[in-house]
């Protein structure tokens, strides 16, 4: 009986293990890096290009629009037409939005810049929707709001470097990371992506059951109708695509696969082992399905960055190359040394540096008793598998372990640069003064209630997405 229970509940037990695997396989620091990577990738590849094009639209197209063309929707109905159609005001707001997004991309006052960018984008990116064509740019605003409330600027940002220095002044080399906050933010991101697919899949399922949506003939009609409705249509030009050249059975099977993927995405995206395959399938779906229907990937494809545990992938690959971290012994009584180590740890995505303070109470310090306190007061030491180096060479060894510093490694090895670097290091090291940690509270995380705020804002956005999607579902009639 015991064996039957284990066998019968195998899938259930495995499913629950997969749901909790994200919090076990990667720690809070790793998820904070993943969220920062998503912030950089999504802003650079999706939101900023869209905002920049919108700024160009407000300068080139908007001044020539007649007021009769405006058909305000949503909250724009409450905006006076004199303000809504004011091209100069719109262009100023669009440029301000680009500046805010650029600062958010760099991680400068990340929470405030991205929060303001979400509010400004709600207006700026929504202006073209008042001319009779509705797109899905609201997805970018939802994700901007999540990035603003979550700790997306805690690492890989200007804020993280400033925070690392402040933490070092209080004796804390590793930046404090709010537990589960980054993972919670990404989970809400996955939920929003899944809900967008879910309601679209339900609409297509309804159309398939009532109007034969997955039929090969219907899919070909949709493809041609979309082609003729789009400005890309040119007389005498046949649009590319696999639908016309494929057998009816294959086209129907592809249509059914699209529905299954869209409906199943919201549940499967929370299962860690399945999520990478889901990312590949999703991108493949957009590449295949979007090509004949000319569905833009500019906001959809970059969002898939959030589905991959990049830190786990990078650390796993690195540990196969260098299993043991580089041990760095530093003078913990020196404020400059603490700041330098704090910045190094903030950049250490691979977790390849083990920063060990030079105090006798640290058990890691006792393993390297041959390096005395007097030696640490004079130089920084890096202990690798093959050899121990100090001073300027220790910094070169550190740079070899941190991907963000790899571009500088060839330059640091040049003879003239190395000679100059050693003299510069020696001058700084000999002239530094010890600075004990300041009393008081160490650097705070993204806020004592950050997890609560993430849950509140994320829940509101999920409810909003459900409401918007249900409204669209009610309007869709088999397209």
- Can you say whether the dihedral through the CA atoms of 228, 230, 235, 239 is positive or negative? negative
The SS3 call for residue 352 is coil
Predicted pLDDT at 294: 47
Q: What is the DSSP letter of 361?
A: T
End-to-end CA distance of the chain: 52
363 or 99: which carries more pLDDT confidence? 99
**Do 432 and 419 meet the contact criterion of CB atoms below 8 Å apart?**
no
Predicted pLDDT at 151: 93
Dist. CA 151–CA 176, nearest whole Å: 11
Mean pLDDT of 227-243: 54
**Do 18 and 274 meet the contact criterion of CB atoms below 8 Å apart?**
yes
Q: Write down the H helix ranges in 379-449.
A: 392-401, 409-412, 415-431
**Do 301 and 283 meet the contact criterion of CB atoms below 8 Å apart?**
yes
Least confident of 97-106, 111-120, 130-139, 446-455: 446-455
Predicted pLDDT at 88: 94
137 or 72: which carries more pLDDT confidence? 72
Most confidently predicted of 126-140, 199-213, 229-243: 126-140
State yes or no: pLDDT of 11 exceeds 80.
no
Dist. CA 433–CA 225, nearest whole Å: 74
What residue segments make up the domains of the chain, in order of their start?
Answer: 23-173, 180-321, 325-431
Q: What is the pTM of this model?
A: 0.86
Predicted pLDDT at 447: 46
Measured in degrees and rounded to the nearest 5, phi and psi for residue 54 equal -65, -40
Choices 3.40.30, 1.10.10, 3.40.1350, 2.40.160: CATH for 325-431: 3.40.30
Quickly list DSSP for 212-273.
-TTSHHHHHHHHHHHHHHSTT--TTPPPP-STTTS-HHHHHHHHHHHHHHHHHHHHHTT-TT
CA nearest neighbour of 135 among 300, 1, 273, 251: 300
How far from 355 is each of 161, 249, 264, 414, CA to CA, in Å? 17, 61, 44, 27
Q: How would residue 92 be classed by pLDDT, with cut points 50, 70 and 90?
A: very high
Dist. CA 460–CA 149, nearest whole Å: 12
State yes or no: pLDDT of 112 exceeds 90.
yes
Q: Cβ contacts of residue 76 below 8 Å, gap of 6+? A: 84, 126, 127, 129, 130
Q: How would residue 468 be classed by pLDDT, with cut points 50, 70 and 90?
A: confident
Q: How would residue 33 be classed by pLDDT, with cut points 50, 70 and 90?
A: very high
**Do 198 and 265 meet the contact criterion of CB atoms below 8 Å apart?**
yes
Count of Cβ atoms closer than 10 Å to residue 274 Cβ: 15
Mean pLDDT of 109-117: 95
**Do 345 and 29 meet the contact criterion of CB atoms below 8 Å apart?**
no
State yes or no: pLDDT of 40 exceeds 90.
yes
pLDDT mean across residues, the chain? 82
- Mark 60-73 as b/e (b = at least 16 C-beta within 10 Å): eebeeeeeeeeebe
Predicted pLDDT at 68: 84
């Amino acid at each position: 009986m015991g064996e039957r229970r284990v066998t019968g509940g195998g899938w259930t037990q495995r499913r629950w293990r997969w749901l909790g695997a994200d919090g076990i396989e990667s720690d809070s620091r790793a998820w904070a890096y993943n969220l920062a990577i998503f912030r950089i990738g999504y802003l650079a590849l999706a939101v900023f290009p869209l905002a920049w094009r919108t700024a160009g639209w407000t300068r080139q197209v908007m001044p020539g629009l007649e007021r009769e063309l405006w058909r305000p929707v949503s909250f724009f109905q409450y905006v006076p037409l004199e303000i809504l159609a004011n091209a100069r005001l719109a262009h100023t707001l669009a440029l301000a939005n680009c500046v805010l997004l650029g600062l958010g991309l760099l991680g400068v006052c990340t929470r405030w810049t991205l929060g303001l960018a979400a509010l400004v984008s709600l207006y700026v990116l929504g202006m073209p929707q008042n001319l009779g064509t509705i797109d899905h740019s609201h997805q970018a605003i939802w994700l901007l709001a999540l990035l603003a409330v979550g700790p997306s600027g805690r690492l890989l940002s200007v804020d993280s470097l400033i925070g690392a220095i402040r933490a070092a002044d209080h004796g804390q080399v590793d930046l404090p990371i709010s537990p589960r906050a980054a993972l919670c933010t990404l989970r809400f991101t996955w939920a929003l992506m899944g809900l967008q697919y879910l309601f679209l899949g339900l609409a297509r399922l309804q159309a398939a059951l009532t109007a034969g949506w997955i039929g090969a003939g219907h899919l070909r009609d949709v493809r041609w109708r979309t082609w003729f409705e789009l400005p890309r249509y040119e007389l005498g030009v046949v649009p590319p695509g696999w639908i016309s050249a494929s057998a009816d059975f294959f086209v129907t099977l592809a249509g059914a696969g699209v529905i299954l993927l869209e409906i199943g995405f919201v549940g499967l995206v929370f299962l860690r082992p399945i999520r990478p395959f889901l990312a590949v399938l999703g991108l493949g779906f957009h590449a295949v399905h979007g090509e004949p229907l000319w569905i833009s990937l500019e906001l959809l494809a970059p969002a898939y960055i959030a589905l991959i545990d990049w830190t786990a992938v990078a650390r796993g690959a690195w540990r196969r190359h260098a299993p043991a971290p580089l041990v760095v012994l530093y003078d913990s009584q020196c404020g400059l040394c603490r700041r330098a180590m704090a910045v190094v740890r903030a950049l250490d995505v691979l977790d390849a540096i083990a920063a060990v303070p030079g105090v006798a109470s640290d058990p890691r310090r006792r393993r390297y008793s041959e390096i005395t306190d007097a030696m640490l007061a004079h130089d920084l030491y890096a202990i690798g598998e093959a050899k121990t180096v100090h001073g300027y060479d220790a910094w070169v060894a550190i740079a070899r372990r941190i991907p963000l510093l790899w571009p500088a490694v060839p330059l640091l090895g040049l003879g003239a640069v190395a000679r100059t670097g050693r003299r510069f290091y020696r001058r700084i090291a000999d002239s530094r003064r010890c600075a004990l940690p300041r009393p008081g509270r160490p650097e705070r995380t993204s806020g004592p209630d950050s997890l609560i705020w993430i849950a509140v804002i994320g829940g509101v956005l999920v409810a909003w997405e459900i409401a918007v999607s249900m409204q669209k579902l009610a309007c869709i009639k088999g397209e």
